[in-house]
Chain A
Amino acid sequence: MGVEQKLGNMGVVTTTLEGVVNWSRTNAMWPMLFGLACCAIEMMSAQSSSYDMSRFGMELMRASPRQSDLMIVAGRVSKKMGPVLRRLYDQMPEPKWVIAMGDCASCGGVFNNYAIFQGVDEVVPVDVFVAGCPPRPEALIHGVMTIHEKVKGESFKQYAEKYKQTT
């Protein structure tokens, strides 16, 4: 990640602690796979060789919420799935982020009816919405990069305030 250029021939890099922490968080972000419908196919494709999300340190899709810090909700969330999704979100260790992938997860999409949540932001707080039905893998990767930008801008102070609120 360009460390070599910064190193020069001195062997020392100066940076802030926040910078290092956020840099390591972005480059080892383990997404939890939450394939709920057709969007999941594009999520798989974003992982596979032609798009290859592992270029950004995300080759490990975890099936367990306890090992992941990014939840990609790929697909429509039914009223019965909502509580399950919330429970998995609550099990993820802090800090954690959520991507609502596709129109269904963002706003209900074509399913404006009794069975589907009109946007997963009714269940969990969402950081990035990716539009499209389904979004192409590039769009998902763009969403992930947007999350990375967000993470890079976060500070310890923000975390501290967030925990003050929740506890």
Chain B
Amino acid sequence: MDKKLEPIVKSLQDKFSATFEEFRDEVHLFVKPEQIVDALTLLRDEYNFELLSALTAVDYYPQETPRFHVVYQLTSIAKNLSVQIRVPVNGSSPKVPTATHVYDVANWRERELLDMFGIEFDGHPDPRRILSPEDMEGHPLRKDFPLGYEEPQFTFNFDEIDLRKPYAKE
């Protein structure tokens, strides 16, 4: 771990009883969903993490519970540091408080997570899908989302598939 990161990790451990993991010099801090806004505010105001460089999620279904990790990747340009905060959440419609009032950039990224993983962000100003069409069902980046959409057409099943293919009208 970077020397400059040690006090930061320590203070997060004290304040939020955060656990942390280290992998190839990268620090991952785990906090609870209700603490995330405070943790982000602390990091931004006290420790110069002025940039939320990535906000994404991982679905560990079915190996792990809780299945989702919401990942906040923070960068401090002033100190040349980066740290990762992870919020484990579970269930079919998990909820995390929104970070839009801490980092403006979180707005579209949270919409993307809502779209792709179905993670809801409490208090988000504009909770709509961002990439897929509005009327789409399901969340494509979930591990239990069906992979293929159409069966490939070969000579032996050509007619059968042709019958149920939704051809356009004039």
- Shortest Cβ distance from B141 into A: residue: A114
CA distance A165 to B169 in the complex (A): 11
CA distance A112 to B168 in the complex (A): 19
CA distance A121 to B133 in the complex (A): 19
Per-residue CB contact flags for chain A residues 42-78 toward chain B (1 = under 8 Å, else 0) read: 0000000000000000000000000000000000000
Q: From the candidates B140, B150, B153, name the one contacting A115 in the complex (CB within 8 A).
A: B140
The minimal Cβ–Cβ distance linking B169 to chain A, given in whole angstroms, is 7
Residues in chain A near residue B147, CB distance under 8 A: 113
Residues in chain A near residue B136, CB distance under 8 A: 79, 114
Beta-carbon contact of A118 and B149 below 8 Å: yes
- Shortest Cβ distance from B134 into A: residue: A80
- Shortest Cβ distance from A116 into B: residue: B149
Per-residue CB contact flags for chain A residues 100-123 toward chain B (1 = under 8 Å, else 0) read: 000000011000111110110111
Count, chain B residues at interface, CB 8 A: 19
CA distance A115 to B145 in the complex (A): 13
Residues in chain A near residue B140, CB distance under 8 A: 113-115
Count, chain A residues at interface, CB 8 A: 20
User: Chain B's interface: helix, strand, loop or mixed, by majority?
Assistant: loop
Beta-carbon contact of B133 and A79 below 8 Å: yes
Known A79-B136, A80-B133; contact A122-B167, beta-carbon cutoff 8 A: yes
The minimal Cβ–Cβ distance linking B45 to chain A, given in whole angstroms, is 39
CA distance A162 to B131 in the complex (A): 37
CB contact list, B128-161 vs A, under 8 A: 131-133, 136, 138, 140, 145, 147-150, 152-153
Chain B interface (Cβ < 8 Å from any Cβ of A):
131-133, 136, 138, 140, 145, 147-150, 152-153, 165-170
Q: 27 A-B residue contacts at CB 8 Å?
A: A79-B136, A80-B131, A80-B133, A86-B168, A107-B153, A108-B149, A112-B148, A112-B149, A113-B140, A113-B147, A113-B148, A113-B149, A114-B132, A114-B136, A114-B145, A114-B149, A116-B149, A118-B149, A118-B165, A119-B165, A122-B165, A122-B167, A122-B168, A125-B168, A125-B169, A125-B170, A162-B170
